[in-house]
A and B are shown apart, each in its own frame.
Chain A
């Protein structure tokens, strides 16, 4: 059973789509497991100015991706690096236990996108 918030984010996902010329991008999961997601970010003055995602996966995978983008938008990079899977699940009023491990990967994708941005900047 999913919460109303999960259902809402699944049916009306926020910030979905590929981003043109992102400052950073991170992909986690793989199609074999049934969940894979990519996060794209634009960064301005060490803040996440814009963020979008693309996700292959179940309802929880799509809802957590959507919620992660909503939470991250406008956040400082340091705060965003501190965002955990649990924070995302809490913001969605919880996830079924079985979905916590497999589908709740969006925060990891966000962290990878930030690392990718930092690497790009150093180049």
Chain B
């Protein structure tokens, strides 16, 4: 067996924090630890950092700093936009429309809103995971208060046509929210061009610290706060600001803006080499998600006759870390709802592997996976009663 490499390809689940971000944050734990609400030098230091970070995050998405509200992460931002939004605008209607491939947090938040009298419709997607615009047009009507469609899917990588979605939502005076978590630092997010009303932003997905995120709220659009307290963040989200975390997210946004174009190009080259290499060397394997219109760092490939958790465990044993859409790798014991929404059968969804590449990956990692995975697939297929004779 060849030497074991440590290859982390689960950047969609968690990313390492950039050292430059940590260096910036450290000062705000030990030196500039003031409360930005305080009217003295220590407070001003913190307020200055808060404002600068807000500017960096706004700059990444072409927003005004006033439109950025810091939260404890992307999940809170989704809660704030969806629950806060529909409560504020409930007179506009009672229907919420989301896509069938939304993140679990959007599914569960909207499901919880049915207890407040809202109804939820799921817009279907095509085989590549792209929402069916003609179906969306039928679902969104004058009773629709909110449409929530993610910017890009973290599991299959598919990028959604959110500009068209915004047009459809606005035609019926519905609000449009988009969860941009998986897209952070990988593709351009221009809120003026896409015309979203609310945009969920994550810090760790662009190499910032965990425990911090933000919600973009378009000027003129409102929401009912969920966290009531001292009126921080313009009264939208109370609670003393997590200055060190916010500074980290600001620095991560600054770095993402400066480095994204080059890094995304690099990731695309790695991703394409990985997809091409794997599809070539392993028979009866297929790409999940859109063939072109996908996140630069995402590859999702499924292998017939075998199961994803066994693949993950085998790869883990040779130092390769990644995720699967298999039921056996999930808490729910259901295969990925995203893969099923794309029309895959349960047994097809079970054998999928999700590769999410990041800054830490290089060509050597891709070559290692392309070299080692065929043997693993072959071994598991040889063990499986489903594998046809000619493949054993």
Residues of A near any B CB (own CB < 8 A): 2, 7, 10-11, 13, 16-17, 27, 31-38, 54-62, 98-99, 102-103
Contact = CB atoms under 8 A, between A and B. Distances in A.
A39 to B, nearest CB: 10
Interface in B351-392: 382-386
A56 to B, nearest CB: 4
B327 A38 contact: no
29 contacts: A10-B313, A11-B314, A34-B327, A34-B335, A34-B346, A34-B350, A35-B328, A36-B385, A36-B386, A54-B384, A54-B385, A56-B306, A56-B383, A56-B384, A56-B386, A57-B328, A58-B307, A58-B309, A58-B310, A58-B326, A58-B329, A59-B328, A60-B328, A61-B307, A61-B310, A61-B328, A62-B310, A62-B383, A103-B328
A54 B383 contact: yes
B310 A16 contact: no
A57 B329 CA distance: 11
B305 interface: yes
Nearest to A66: B383
Nearest to A103: B328
Which residue, B313, B327, B331, has most C-beta atoms of chain A within 10 A?
Answer: B313
Interface band, chain B: 20 to 34
A59 B346 contact: no
A32 B327 CA distance: 10
Contact of B310 (A31, A38, A57): A57
A102 B386 CA distance: 18
A99 B328 CA distance: 8
A79 B107 CA distance: 49
Contacts of A60: 328
A59 B345 CA distance: 21
Q: Across chains A and B, which 8 residue pairs bring their CB atoms closest together, nearest first?
A: A58-B328, A58-B309, A31-B347, A56-B384, A54-B385, A32-B346, A59-B313, A34-B350
Which residue, A17, A33, A103, has most C-beta atoms of chain B within 10 A?
Answer: A33
Interface string B88-120: 000000000000000000000000000000000
Nearest to A57: B307
A102 B331 CA distance: 12
Contacts of B382: 17
Contacts of B329: 58
A33 B307 contact: no
Interface of B: 305-310, 313-314, 317, 326-329, 331, 333, 335, 345-347, 350, 382-386
A59 B309 contact: yes
A33 B326 CA distance: 10
Contacts of B327: 33-34, 102
A109 to B, nearest CB: 10
B331 A59 contact: no
B385 A55 contact: yes
A51 to B, nearest CB: 15
A35 B310 CA distance: 11
Contacts of B383: 13, 16, 54-56, 62
Contacts of A62: 310, 383
A5 to B, nearest CB: 14
B385 A34 contact: no
A13 B350 CA distance: 21
Which residue, B307, B308, B382, has most C-beta atoms of chain A within 10 A?
Answer: B307
B229 to A, nearest CB: 38
A55 B313 CA distance: 15
Given A36-B386, A55-B384, A58-B313, 6 more contacts: A10-B310, A32-B345, A56-B306, A58-B326, A62-B310, A98-B331
Contacts of A55: 383-385
Nearest to A27: B385
A87 to B, nearest CB: 22
B345 A56 contact: no
A11 B317 CA distance: 9
Nearest to A55: B383
A27 B345 CA distance: 21
B333 A102 contact: yes
B350 A31 contact: yes
A98 B317 CA distance: 22
Contacts of A37: 385
A84 to B, nearest CB: 21
A61 B333 CA distance: 14
Nearest to A102: B333
